[in-house]
Amino acid sequence: MESTLLVNEDAEISNGNKLDKTFKRLKAIEDISYTCSTLFTSDVALASYKVLKPFCELSGADYGLVFLLKNPTKQLFVEATYGLPEEYKEIRNKEKILTLDSEDVDDNWPSIRAILKKQIVVVKDLDQTSMGFSKLFRDTVKPHKIRSVAAVPIVINDKAVGVITKYFVKPHVLDEEELSFMKTTANIITSTIERNHLLETAKKSERELAQANEILKQVNQELDSFVYIASHDLREPLRTIESFTDIIGHKLQDRLASEENDYLERIIKATQRMRKLIEDLTHLSRASRDVKENELVNLNTLLTEVQFELTAFIQKKDAQIIVLDRLPNVIGSKGKISSIFKNLILNGIKFNRSLKPQIKISLAEDINFDPDKVCICIEDNGIGIEEEYHNKIFGLFQRLHTNEDFEGTGAGLAIVKKILEKYYCDIWLNSVPGKGSKFFFTLNRVNWVKAKSKR
């Protein structure tokens, strides 16, 4: 709002009880500010309705109206009224009062002028003004014997969206203080609406996010149940195929031609692969179940046990496991943490063409790490992974090699990630093709459970 348009420019400042008036005005502004601060809506109508009464009462106005523009139709509606006789009370929001672009409406109507010019418009005395007002306006106000009008536009984001207008039956002298009071009122409405609009947008996004999360949770649960049921249901027919191939193999052992033997071999290999896939699917579905087990896990003891279990594979590959640091105790499921170590160590040895595959296990320290977490690094001297696949490999059945090159199902890292996610832990890697990989993952320190229960 740049300036004020005073139609009777000889406005005088009343010398009456000025201090008392000022005090009342300040009190009214305080009331309006308070009302607006407790108003959690971006609804212009409600905001303006709430301020209309103090706005009119303060200057002794007889009537007050809030007109709002319904864009894009440019129609003006009455949204709130003050002091109107009974028969007019019903006009609120019932019918459009005016259409801004129509012929009988020009800016010779104080409220419309306030909207079009985005200025406060004040008419001290309608009878004495040289300014021509539209016939429609004069006909409208005549029965109410209106002599003075003051209209304050409501401007939001530089667009006038409505106007608050007060009417006086006696000529009203408007002083500078009242003018500034009117401007302040309009500013309070504007900032209330803008603030609440922002708040509502933020709340909406928050609500949408919560809903999306809920749906995602349900879908994940359904998927888990599906995987669980499918992996169980698939076992039975697979067992039947395995038994019958076994019987056929034994019965026809010496009678099969080499080609037929080859077919039988292929069936056996395919069923073995199928069994491994089903096992992995079962592990995957279990990864998100039974996560309530929270036991104290001594990682040093656990690593000794893991190495023992992998002895055959380690010896076959002539691999070496070096634990560089003493590891702290963590909280979680011993079985699940053990499967994380097994998967990562086996991968480090498997995806490795060195004559002597080497796996180094150490504690990773970084001041940026969450103090409730322990970060562990498993480093290998294997084939390494191109950076563009660093995320992809954690997806289910995502493999970068054929089964002929390196055997596997592509479920290992997906299982590891899922277990860690359930414990609010993370996994990531650094790797350079040909130079080996470093997998980092976090686990929960002993004090994590206490910290979590405080959250």
Does 383 participate in binding ligand ADP (rule CB under 6 A)?
yes
Does 427 participate in binding ligand ADP (rule CB under 6 A)?
no
Q: What share of the chain is helix, strand, coil (3-state, %, to 5)?
A: 50, 20, 30
Does 410 participate in binding ligand ADP (rule CB under 6 A)?
yes
Q: Which of 121, 408, 420, 444 binds ligand ADP (CB under 6 A)?
A: 408
Q: Which of 412, 418, 444, 445 binds ligand ADP (CB under 6 A)?
A: 412
Does 340 participate in binding ligand ADP (rule CB under 6 A)?
no
Instruction: Please give the Cα distance from 75 to 48 (Å, whole number).
Output: 18
Q: Which of 161, 303, 393, 420 binds ligand ADP (CB under 6 A)?
A: 393
C-beta separation of 374 from 356 below 8 A = no
Edge-to-edge strand ranges of the sheet holding 63-70: 4-6, 120-123, 148-156, 159-168, 63-70, 75-82, 96-99
Q: Please state the closest distance from residue 441 (CB atom) to ligand ADP, in A.
A: 13
**Is residue 127 helix, strand or coil?**
coil
- The nearer residue to ligand ADP, 120 or 383, going by C-beta atoms, is 383
Near ligand ADP in 430-449, by CB under 6 A = 437
- The nearer residue to ligand ADP, 140 or 430, going by C-beta atoms, is 430
Q: Which of 186, 382, 423, 445 binds ligand ADP (CB under 6 A)?
A: 382
- The nearer residue to ligand ADP, 197 or 273, going by C-beta atoms, is 273
Does 348 participate in binding ligand ADP (rule CB under 6 A)?
yes
Q: Which of 46, 173, 400, 446 binds ligand ADP (CB under 6 A)?
A: 400
Does 357 participate in binding ligand ADP (rule CB under 6 A)?
no
Instruction: Please give the Cα distance from 420 to 429 (Å, whole number).
Output: 14
Near ligand ADP in 7-26, by CB under 6 A = none
- The nearer residue to ligand ADP, 233 or 405, going by C-beta atoms, is 405
Does 238 participate in binding ligand ADP (rule CB under 6 A)?
no
Instruction: Please give the Cα distance from 43 to 37 (Å, whole number).
Output: 13
Instruction: Please give the Cα distance from 397 to 413 (Å, whole number).
Output: 9
Instruction: Report residue 385: phi and psi, to 5°.
Output: -135, 135
The answer to whether the bond into 371 is cis (omega within 30° of 0) is no
- The nearer residue to ligand ADP, 370 or 426, going by C-beta atoms, is 426
Q: What is the largest CA-CA distance in the chain?
A: 124
Instruction: Please give the Cα distance from 151 to 168 (Å, whole number).
Output: 12
Instruction: Please give the Cα distance from 90 to 242 (Å, whole number).
Output: 84
Does 317 participate in binding ligand ADP (rule CB under 6 A)?
no
Q: Please state the closest distance from residue 230 (CB atom) to ligand ADP, in A.
A: 19
Instruction: Please give the Cα distance from 2 to 418 (Å, whole number).
Output: 60
- The nearer residue to ligand ADP, 79 or 380, going by C-beta atoms, is 380
Quickly count: other Cβ atoms within 10 Å of residue 5's Cβ: 17
Instruction: Please give the Cα distance from 152 to 344 (Å, whole number).
Output: 71
Does 380 participate in binding ligand ADP (rule CB under 6 A)?
yes
Half-sphere exposure of 188 (CA within 13 A, CB side): 25
Q: Which stretch binds ligand ADP (CB under 6 A): 47-55, 145-153, 301-309, 376-384?
A: 376-384
- The nearer residue to ligand ADP, 62 or 379, going by C-beta atoms, is 379
Near ligand ADP in 140-159, by CB under 6 A = none
Does 288 participate in binding ligand ADP (rule CB under 6 A)?
no
C-beta separation of 134 from 104 below 8 A = yes
- The nearer residue to ligand ADP, 69 or 411, going by C-beta atoms, is 411
C-beta separation of 47 from 41 below 8 A = yes
Question: Scanning the structure block, which residue is given the tokens 């947008």?
Answer: 201
Does 339 participate in binding ligand ADP (rule CB under 6 A)?
no
Does 413 participate in binding ligand ADP (rule CB under 6 A)?
yes
**Contact positions vs ligand ADP (CB under 6 A):** 343, 347-348, 351, 380, 382-383, 385, 393, 398-401, 408-414, 437
